[in-house]
């Protein structure tokens, strides 16, 4: 019964165009083809990534964060007040501390803001996560570029279908696939312990769709299309992660510049190259060669899921770009909880000042003269 069900699920007519089947992917004549059992190698690779990540975050990114972050400068008076009295001084306390230290009110406010941010464990954790992903995406992008730069289908995407599905597997393609798939599996394993963002569900859908897409393209030898898709994704991801790193470290102008570059690359790669070149070559062009089959619909269905997510994220990116273009404010990840900024401190101090005016100086439009005046009223 089970064997019959398995044979029916993996029937040639479901996953391959007419006239082709699993027999085409058997190793022969010195040529190697993708095999189902090869995917098991991604599980230990994923666990290796999880171990390497822990070492990297503790030894590399933690030390890097301490070196590059913008910290509150040493000030014994302010530090003593921060530790013993309050992390959120009132306006009168800020004025008093300003006189004691010889700093301006704005400098005192900025010091407390930076000092509070230093104690936020989430900020260090976010930096560690971003630096780990940045390192992988950067290396993966240039590795993928090295794998594809001398391939004819990199320049003429229609050639990804030449002699399909009988294209032999190259060693470079094997390792590119195993490492990319292992990394995305490790992200799925660790997403529950990572800093949760507003698009948590979209992230899970993205990781699952990516894993299914990479795995399926391996099984039916869509290797050429798969490598192009992975390269296009890695082209923008490392820029986003680097912008986050500078954001968490407090390097505002650098963050804004890199984010602008990332936004341009994201729009070009995810909203232009991917749908109009790659998806067009996997969705429209095959119909000139073969009759539609279930595997064709399954693969492109996953591609459309990813494309919808790209449109969703493009909307968030445009919103962030619009926010910082008029001024010099920091680019904030729309998916994350916000860190304190100088503008927020100014708003807080202004609010405290207004409250003090209302409570201490003006009530219902009348100015109190002295305590006897209140008694008479």
Rounded CA-CA distance 188/106 in Å is 44
Sign of CA dihedral 251, 315, 198, 240: negative
pLDDT for residue 41: 94
SS3 129: helix
pLDDT band at 333 (very low <50, low <70, confident <90, very high): low
pLDDT for residue 366: 40
pLDDT band at 173 (very low <50, low <70, confident <90, very high): very high
The angle subtended at Cα 328 by Cα 324 and Cα 329, nearest 5°, is: 60
Across the range 110-115, mean pLDDT stands at 79
Span 76-119 CATH architecture: Orthogonal Bundle (1.10)
pLDDT band at 118 (very low <50, low <70, confident <90, very high): low
Rounded CA-CA distance 22/12 in Å is 6
pLDDT for residue 357: 37
CA distances from 260 to 133, 243, 253, 267, 324 (A): 19, 9, 11, 11, 10
Rounded CA-CA distance 16/188 in Å is 29
Judged by average pLDDT, the poorest of 87-101, 144-158, 175-189, 332-346 is 332-346
Q: Is the pTM of this model over 0.75?
A: no
Pick the residue with more confidence: 276 or 84?
276
pLDDT digits (tens, 9 = 90+) for 213-247: 999 999 999 999 999 999 999 999 999 999 998 88
Rounded CA-CA distance 254/242 in Å is 10
Rounded CA-CA distance 262/237 in Å is 8
Do residues 240 and 321 lie in contact, with contact meaning Cβ atoms separated by under 8 Å?
A: no
pLDDT band at 325 (very low <50, low <70, confident <90, very high): low
The angle subtended at Cα 225 by Cα 140 and Cα 151, nearest 5°, is: 75
pLDDT for residue 326: 55
Smallest CA-to-CA distance from 52 within 132, 137, 141 is with 132
Domain locations in the chain? 38-62+122-324, 76-119
pLDDT digits (tens, 9 = 90+) for 6-61: 778 888 888 999 889 899 999 888 889 999 999 999 999 999 999 999 999 888 87
Containing 183, the helix (H) or strand (E) segment is helix 171-190
Q: Count the residues in the chain.
A: 377
Pick the residue with more confidence: 154 or 109?
154
pLDDT digits (tens, 9 = 90+) for 128-155: 889 999 999 999 999 999 999 999 999 9
With a cut of 50, say whether residue 343 has pLDDT above it.
no
């Amino acid at each position: 019964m089970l064997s019959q069900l398995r044979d029916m699920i993996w029937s040639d007519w479901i996953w391959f165009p007419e006239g082709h089947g699993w027999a085409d992917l058997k190793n022969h004549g010195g040529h190697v083809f993708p095999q189902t059992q090869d995917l098991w190698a991604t599980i230990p690779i994923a666990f290796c990534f999880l171990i390497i990540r822990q070492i990297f975050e503790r030894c590399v990114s933690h030390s890097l964060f301490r070196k590059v972050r913008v910290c509150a400068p040493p000030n014994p008076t302010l530090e003593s007040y921060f530790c013993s009295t309050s992390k959120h001084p009132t306006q009168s306390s800020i004025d008093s501390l300003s006189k004691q230290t010889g700093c301006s009110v704005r400098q005192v406010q900025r010091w407390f803001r930076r000092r509070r941010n230093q104690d936020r464990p989430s900020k260090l954790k976010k930096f560690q996560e971003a630096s780990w992903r940045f390192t992988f995406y950067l290396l993966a992008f240039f590795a993928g570029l090295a794998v594809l730069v001398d391939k004819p289908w990199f320049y003429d995407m229609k050639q990804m279908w030449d002699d399909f599905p009988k294209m032999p597997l190259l060693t470079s393609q094997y390792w590119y696939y195993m490492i990319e798939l292992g990394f995305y599996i490790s992200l799925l394993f660790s997403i529950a312990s990572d800093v949760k963002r507003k698009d948590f569900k979209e992230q899970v859908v993205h990781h699952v769709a990516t894993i299914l897409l990479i795995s399926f393209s391996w099984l039916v030898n869509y290797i050429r299309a798969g490598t192009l898709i992975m390269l296009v994704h890695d082209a923008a991801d490392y820029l986003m992660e680097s912008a986050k790193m500078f954001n968490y470290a407090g390097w505002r102008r650098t963050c804004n510049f890199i984010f602008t570059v990332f936004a341009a690359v994201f729009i070009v790669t995810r909203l232009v190259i991917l749908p109009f070149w790659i998806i067009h070559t996997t969705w429209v062009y095959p119909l000139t060669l073969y009759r539609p089959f279930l595997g064709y619909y399954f693969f492109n269905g996953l591609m459309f899921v990813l494309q919808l997510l790209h449109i969703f994220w493009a909307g968030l990116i445009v919103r962030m770009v619009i926010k910082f273009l008029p001024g010099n404010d920091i680019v904030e990840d729309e998916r994350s909880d916000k860190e304190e900024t100088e503008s927020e401190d100014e708003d807080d101090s202004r609010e405290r000042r207004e409250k003090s005016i209302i409570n201490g100086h003006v009530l219902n439009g009348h100015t109190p003269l002295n305590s006897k005046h209140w008694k008479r009223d």
